[in-house]
Amino acid sequence: MQKRTLGNSGLEVSAVGLGCMGLSFGYGPAAGTQEAIELIRAAVERGVTFFDTAEAYGPFTNEGLVGEALAPVRDQVVIATKFGFEDGDAQAGVDSRPERIREVAEASLRRLKTDRIDLFYQHRVDPDVPIEEVAGAVKDLIQEGKVKHFGLSEAGVQTIRRAHTVQSVTALQSEYSLWWREPEEEVLPTLEDLGIGFVPFSPLGKGFLTGAIDENTKFDSTDFRNLVPRFSAENRNANQSLVEVLGEIAAQKRVTRAQIAIAWLLAQRPWIVPIPGTTKLHRLDENIGAAGIELTPEDLREINNAVEQVTVQGDRYPAHLQQRVDR
């Protein structure tokens, strides 16, 4: 597995990480505990060193799972987790008060069975707490050795710049993929300017870009994609043309759609580290395999030209979850 460094921070991680959320939360019934632990450990055996979790995933259960799985190899891996929701509940609203940040850090350390959090993200910007106070609270934790690096998620460029003046931001985690390219407008140039790494979540469009989902797919009642406008049956049908385009390109390269989607992200900047999630070992192998795929400038032009012909239909979140704040 190739390695990458997140911006100017010196934090080196595998070129492809593992998003662990779906093992416990969000995409239907949770995987069995032992099955999930085995998948995480299989990722380690394959060279993955970057694992992403959050107190809100479960809530709380995912951190415990990740902590147990990685305890035997703790010094060989980088663990990222997040704070920022009231009582760890993403439905309850945001809460990034400094005292709450400290509470979350202490609780996460216990669940993760570790003495430090390698990368501590603010999960969503809290409009009621100045970002300078948030950055200051994490700076204190860094000075105490409980946290190593500070990150933001889904933050806008003004928030990123303001936070960075108080405590260097190591990474921004936001959605970015062939069907959500908004970060290219302002976010990527800002990160490049400041020397901040970028960790795209949902690099496979919440599974859609793999080609395994069509308008007839039925999601489990607990799968949050039921609420996402982009995943309505009508929009899935309309967006199928993007999957078809990816399929044609993948066939030419003799790889899969998922591998093209991840390789495309890796080709955008050397400090981009996607974190696809999965519950299946063969998908893990497929995703990791993308790190070895070289896309030439001609390949990238072909992909961009093809994708630009497709207009993606549907918002990426329901209105009540559009919590991005740029101040």
Q: Catalytic amino acids?
A: 57
Pairing verdict, β 12-14 and 3-5: antiparallel
Tell me the angle at which helices 98-111 and 131-143 cross, rounded to the nearest 10 degrees: 40
Burial track 105-124 (b if 16+ CB lie within 10 A, e otherwise): beebbebbebebbbbbbbbb
Strand partners, 147: 117
Residue 205's Cβ-count burial label (10 Å; 0-12, 13-18, 19+) is buried
96 three-class SS: coil
Radius of gyration of the chain (CA): 19
Q: Which of these, 184, 202, 173, 158, lies nearest to 325 by C-alpha position?
A: 158
- The rounded Cα 89 to chain-centroid distance in angstroms is 18
- The rounded Cα 243 to chain-centroid distance in angstroms is 21
